[in-house]
């Protein structure tokens, strides 16, 4: 197809302008807010460089709020201030949904990246 730019569309090329390196597996806020979007770095991306970021159709394990259980398929948000998933929408960025339930004491959660 002559107008195809990138396939598959579940990974995009992102230029790191954060001022610091991003490690493979780190969450990246691509668009903030309750209607926002996060991605997860597929590779290490040095500041000023471009690298692959998964944006949908991927299950990833990320740090999560402890003291709160997440039900399977509950909507989750990325708390960029604390670097973790939460079920609190206010002040956080839409991340996706829980790929499986998380116990209250668990420090990580499986996230299905949102579309």
Looking at the DSSP bridge assignments, the partners of residue 61 are 110
**What is the reported pLDDT for 91?**
95
pLDDT of residue 6 exceeding 70: no
- 25-80 residue pLDDT tens: 999 999 998 888 999 999 999 999 999 999 998 999 999 999 999 999 999 999 99
Handedness of CA 45, 49, 50, 55 (dihedral sign): positive
pLDDT score of 4 more than 70: no
Three-state SS annotation for 35-51: CCEEEEECCCECCCCEE
Report pLDDT digits (tens) over 74-113.
Answer: 999 999 999 999 999 999 999 999 999 999 999 999 999 9
pLDDT band at 3 (very low <50, low <70, confident <90, very high): low
Q: How confident is the model at residue 2 (pLDDT cuts 50, 70, 90)?
A: low
CB 32 within 8 A of CB 80: yes
Residue 97: the pLDDT is: 96
């Amino acid at each position: 197809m002559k107008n195809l730019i990138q396939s598959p569309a579940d990974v995009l090329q992102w230029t790191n302008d954060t001022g610091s390196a991003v490690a493979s597996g780190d969450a990246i806020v691509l668009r903030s807010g309750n209607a926002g979007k996060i991605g997860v770095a597929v590779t290490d991306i040095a500041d000023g460089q471009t690298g692959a970021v998964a944006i949908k159709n991927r299950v990833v394990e990320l740090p999560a709020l402890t003291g709160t259980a997440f039900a399977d398929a509950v909507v989750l948000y990325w708390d960029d201030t604390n670097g973790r998933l939460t079920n609190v929408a206010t002040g956080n960025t839409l991340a996706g949904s829980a790929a499986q339930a998380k116990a209250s004491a668990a420090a990580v959660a499986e996230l299905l990246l949102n579309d």
